[in-house]
A and B are shown apart, each in its own frame.
Chain A
Amino acid sequence: MQAGSTITLGDRSLSLEQIWQRLDEVPDPEIPAISLVDLGIIRDVRWEDGTLEVTVSPTYSGCPATSMIKLEIIKALTELGIPRIDLKRQLSPPWTTDWISERGRKRLEDYGIAPPQPAGGPQHCPHCRAEELERISQFGSTPCKAQWRCKTCLEPFDYFKCI
């Protein structure tokens, strides 16, 4: 997170840190357990000639949540009283699940979604923590997830694919 640069809006000042904090309260529209900052898609926030530039990296190319995410960012920042906002799309380097924060991973698991693992499959069942698992499908209810099942508690669960 960046801090330091502060701008004066009317009778109050607003730091970049406060803006990051506000963005950290915006939930992902499809997985509301984690915030856009946890998800790692907000790459940069900076002032350019009185306009707030927010750089966002899309998760999956066709993810229908992308336009909703843009809307939610603009809504949150407008509520902070920021008059001019410019959303920039950054494709490169492409978003990776490595950018999901530790807190984000923990929140995913608490929500019942196994966080991404470099090994390509979930570490353990998010419900009972057993490690004997099987894949049901490489795809799931959103572009970022696959479906797995726990062989111990027999519950199906979502796995956040590692990309």
Chain B
Amino acid sequence: MAADPLFELLLRMGDNTLILAQRLSQWCGHGPTLEEDIALANIALDLTGHTQLWLGLAGEVEGAGRDADGLAFHRDVWDFRNTLLVEQPNGDFGQTIMRQYLFDAWHVLQLEALRESSNPQVAEIAEKAIKEVSYHQERSSETVIGLGDGTEESHARMQAALDLLLPYVGEFFANDAVDEIMKEAGIAPLPDSLRSAFDEQITPVMQAATLTVPDTDFAHSGGKSGRQHSEHLGHILPQMQWLQRAYPDASW
């Protein structure tokens, strides 16, 4: 392992929030109703705020003079450590909401554990972020239920979204060498230790939504290690980075 494991952990946190925020921002002006449009933009804004905190700290830990903007705008696909789930296309509104709920359910548990981190800076970011993320989960779970247990059309779309996205969930709970070192140092939980709480969170919501959780433990992987992102990240980055690439350090 080349990089400092704490730096890797912070990139994983910050890249997840960054890429999901970028995806959600693509809905701005296109939401099915004004309220939903505003909600998605607000969630994207919260996640962008968390990105500044996580990547800001990552830059400090790295000590190479890169700040949050430097890390967000001047890295390439292979440097990103977000999970594959968050880079998946928005699809229809139901697919976006399903992706959001699956992410929120993990995010709340991860932040709850990080609040107890032995690293005080990690703990205080988690303590700040969890207030906002709990609110995200409240809304995304209610919306999954509303659409799943809605019309025949909305139910079918939500079931299709769940079938498509569930195989991307396993990556959040797969341990690797970075995780083992972070657990040993008391900085972060082992990913697989959160799995049963995750299942307990989503099971009643999927039941209330009349959705069937696919019986598979197949999991796509390669995002959080940076080994192999899906092609989609390669399309997100130029859109997100082009201005800083064309005019380095431009500000307004």
A residues bordering B, Cβ < 8 Å? 58, 60-64, 91-94, 136-141, 143, 147, 161, 163
- Which of B46, B53, B135 meets A138, CB within 8 Å? B135
B233 nearest CB across to chain A (Å): 22
Q: How many residues of chain B have a CB within 8 Å of chain A?
A: 26
Residue of B with least CB distance to A90: B124
A92-B123 in contact (CB<8A):
yes
Residue of B with least CB distance to A63: B49
Contact with A along B97-136 (1 / 0, CB 8 A): 0000000000000000000000010011101110110010
B53-A91 in contact (CB<8A):
yes
6 pairs from A and B in contact (CB 8 Å cutoff):
A60-B45, A61-B50, A61-B53, A92-B128, A93-B127, A137-B38
A139-B128 in contact (CB<8A):
no
B139 in contact (CB, < 8 A): yes
> Would A91 and B124 be within 8 Å (CB), given that A136-B35, A138-B138 are in contact?
yes
A139-B38 in contact (CB<8A):
yes
A64–B45 alpha-carbon span in the complex (Å): 9
Contacts of A58 in B (CB 8 A): 49, 128
Chain B residues 21-79 with CB under 8 Å of chain A are 35-36, 38-39, 42-43, 45-50, 52-53
Contacts of A64 in B (CB 8 A): 45
Contact with A along B121-161 (1 / 0, CB 8 A): 00111011101100100110000000000000000000000
B135-A161 in contact (CB<8A):
yes
A105–B46 alpha-carbon span in the complex (Å): 24
B49-A61 in contact (CB<8A):
yes
Contacts of A138 in B (CB 8 A): 39, 135, 138-139
Q: Is the interface of A mostly helix, strand, loop or mixed?
A: loop
A119–B43 alpha-carbon span in the complex (Å): 22
B138-A92 in contact (CB<8A):
no
B residues bordering A, Cβ < 8 Å? 35-36, 38-39, 42-43, 45-50, 52-53, 120, 123-125, 127-129, 131-132, 135, 138-139
A139–B139 alpha-carbon span in the complex (Å): 10
A93–B130 alpha-carbon span in the complex (Å): 12
> Considering the complex of A and B, which 10 residue pairs feature the smallest CB-CB distances, nearest first?
A61-B49, A62-B49, A137-B35, A92-B124, A62-B45, A139-B39, A139-B42, A91-B124, A94-B128, A62-B48
Contacts of B49 in A (CB 8 A): 58, 60-63
Residue of A with least CB distance to B45: A62
Contacts of A136 in B (CB 8 A): 35
Residue of A with least CB distance to B129: A61
A163-B131 in contact (CB<8A):
yes
A140-B38 in contact (CB<8A):
yes
A19–B125 alpha-carbon span in the complex (Å): 29
> Would A62 and B47 be within 8 Å (CB), given that A138-B138, A163-B131 are in contact?
yes
Contacts of A61 in B (CB 8 A): 46, 49-50, 52-53, 128-129, 132
Most buried by B among A61, A63, A91, A161: A61
A108–B218 alpha-carbon span in the complex (Å): 51
A91–B48 alpha-carbon span in the complex (Å): 16
A2 nearest CB across to chain B (Å): 23
A143–B46 alpha-carbon span in the complex (Å): 8
Contacts of A93 in B (CB 8 A): 127
Contacts of B128 in A (CB 8 A): 58, 61, 91-92, 94
Contacts of B139 in A (CB 8 A): 138-139
B135-A143 in contact (CB<8A):
no
Q: A58-B128, A92-B120 given. 7 additional CB < 8 A pairs?
A: A61-B132, A91-B125, A94-B131, A137-B39, A138-B135, A139-B39, A140-B38
